[in-house]
Amino acid sequence: MKNKPLRARSPQRDGLERFRRVLKTFTRGLWGILNFLRTGLTNGLSGGLNNAIGTLKKMAYGYRDFNLPQKIVMNL
């Protein structure tokens, strides 16, 4: 199998591709950005709670009493 020859890329084309990638990323997250600017709310609290619950579930592995981890989660 032959190696493809390397082609020189122009700086303008490189810059345009990077700009398009940034624009695509920005437009994908536009609704989330606008909602944050409008309300000031994020999903950080729910992400933190999910992380804490996951950590407790890992810590509770091996407990015989199934209700104990649930009680710990309810007291968060």
Domain extents for the chain? Answer: 11-42, 43-76
Give per-residue pLDDT as tens, 41-73: 888 888 998 998 888 888 777 767 767 767 777
Q: How far apart are CA 23 and CA 6, in angstroms?
A: 28
Does the pTM surpass 0.85? The reply is no
Q: Which of these, 64, 45, 60, lies nearest to 73 by C-alpha position?
A: 60
Give yes or no for a contact between 53 and 47, defined as CB atoms under 8 angstroms apart: no
Give per-residue pLDDT as tens, 1-20: 566 666 656 666 778 888 89
